Amino acid sequence: MSKKKICILTSGHPPFDERIFWKFGQSFNENGFSVSIICSTEQINKTIDEITIKGFDGYSYNKKKKIDSFYDLITKSDPDIIICSEMLPVFAALKFKKKSSNAKIILDITEWFPENVAYKFNGVNRWIKYFQLLLPYFYVLQKVDHLIVGEISKKKRYNLLARSKHKSVVGYYPVLKYFNYKKPDLSKEEIIFGYAGVITFERGINKLLQVSISIADKFPQKKFILLLFGRFTYQSEENEFKQKVSTINNLEVEFAEWTEYDKMSLVIERMDICFDLRERNFIYSNSLPIKIFEYMACGKPFIYSDIKPIRDDIDYEKYGFLVNPDDESEIVKTIESYLNSPKLADEHSVNARRLIEANKNWESESKKLIDLVNKLLV
């Protein structure tokens, strides 16, 4: 019996995106499916771990050319299931389905759309872009066979926009086998504060620098390192930030290059307390951050901007602190509570790893994904 074919399409992510390749792709492969990934973000033609990865550099393409390019590659793959990570590839999948009526199309929803695009504009242009995207998006929602939503809070919207459409929640939890547990030791002389992810001012990197400097002033007997694991989005912000760092003498700032998902743990393990102090705009305040669970998988206590999705998903007081990102004194006091009580950090560390091992891991979450696909193939 030949393997059923699953094709994952993305117009906005790299082919080795953690959800696309390391979670969806690997899980399908391990469960006996033939897997291919098609992207418009990179010219690529490889097979890795039995997963075929094909792509084209579509940044200069208009929408029609991009859709046609996706369609050509889908046709060569001839999949039974097509999973689209964004709206645009759905149009290529629908074009393919006209020739193969048995193919099922799934839209995997992980971001607030169209807000994530519209919010890059200002004033009336934001609303114009919002409605320009909302109308085709509404059409797409009616045409796909199933919706996967990354978190429960986002699902409520689609209960309204696509009331009759079947939906499944498949979360962002880490692939446990790639994350090693290392309990922090805050009694030692050198303390490392850590941040992992996209680096921008909006994501609170200046605030994190400032509170780190304040803590270094208050605890001169210790050496503090701020470890930033990721990439700057904007060159101007990178230049400004590094210029600011060059004038600091009581804090060491270290930059670690982003790496493949299965190697991230090696950097996070070095951190003692992990942070995310980003501004609480609409998108962040209504989104469950992925990195918090990867920190917890490594046994790291966290200090995060206080948002409802975290409160709704975990009993956070057992694992870390939520703070007002605009209140520097509150953040400093929260860090002090760890430094003055290393046993509290130990307790949060053990609790965090236990939670991830119990149920907040991809090994458990992926079972819902495999069950869904098997049902659609019947």
Amino acid 99: pLDDT: 83
User: Rg of the chain over CA atoms, in angstroms?
Assistant: 22
Maximum pairwise Cα distance, the chain:
70
Please name the residue that has the structure tokens 């007997």.
221
Q: What is the pLDDT of residues 248-274, one digit of tens each?
A: 989 999 999 999 999 999 999 999 999
- Name the CATH topology of 177-358: Rossmann fold (3.40.50)
**Alpha-carbon span 120 to 200, nearest angstrom:** 14
Beta bridge partners of 223: 190
Average pLDDT over residues 115-133: 92
Note the residue count of the chain. 378
Confidence of residue 359 (pLDDT cuts 50, 70, 90): very high
Average pLDDT over residues 280-292: 92
How many C-beta neighbours within 10 Å does residue 125 have? 11
Residue type, 252: E
Beta bridge partners of 147: 107, 167
> What does the domain layout of the chain look like in residue ranges?
5-173+362-377, 177-358
Average pLDDT over residues 36-56: 97
Residues of the chain with pLDDT > 70: what percent? Answer: 100
Asked if the domains at 5-173+362-377 and 177-358 fall in one CATH topology, the answer is yes
Amino acid 168: pLDDT: 96
Paired tokens of 269:
């393990």
pTM tops 0.85: yes
One DSSP character per residue, 239-277 reads: HHHHHHHTT-SS-EEEEE----GGGTHHHHTT-SEEEE-
Whether the per-residue pLDDT at 170 is higher than 70: the answer is yes
Q: What is the pLDDT of residues 174-206, one digit of tens each?
A: 999 999 999 999 999 999 999 999 999 999 999
**Alpha-carbon span 21 to 32, nearest angstrom:** 15
Give the CA distances from residue 326 to residues 41, 89, 331, in Å, rounded to whole numbers and listed in that order.
36, 39, 9
Amino acid 2: pLDDT: 84
Q: What is the pLDDT of residues 12-39, one digit of tens each?
A: 999 999 999 999 999 999 999 999 999 9
| Cis-peptide into 114, omega within 30 deg | yes
Question: HSE of 325 in the Cβ direction (CA atoms, 13 Å)?
Answer: 22
Average pLDDT over residues 286-307: 96
Amino acid 256: pLDDT: 96
**Contact partners, residue 20, CB within 8 Å, separation at least 6:** 8, 10, 13, 37, 85
Whether the per-residue pLDDT at 1 is higher than 70: the answer is no
5-173+362-377 carries CATH number 3.40.50.2000: yes
How many C-beta neighbours within 10 Å does residue 325 have? 25
Higher-pLDDT residue of 99 and 127 is 127
**Nearest alpha carbon to residue 301 among 327, 271, 279:** 271
Amino acid 126: pLDDT: 94
One DSSP character per residue, 67-127 reads: HHHHHHHHHHH--SEEEESSSHHHHHHHHHHTT-TT-EEEEEE-S-TTHHHHTTS-HHHHH
Please name the residue that has the structure tokens 């006091």.
333
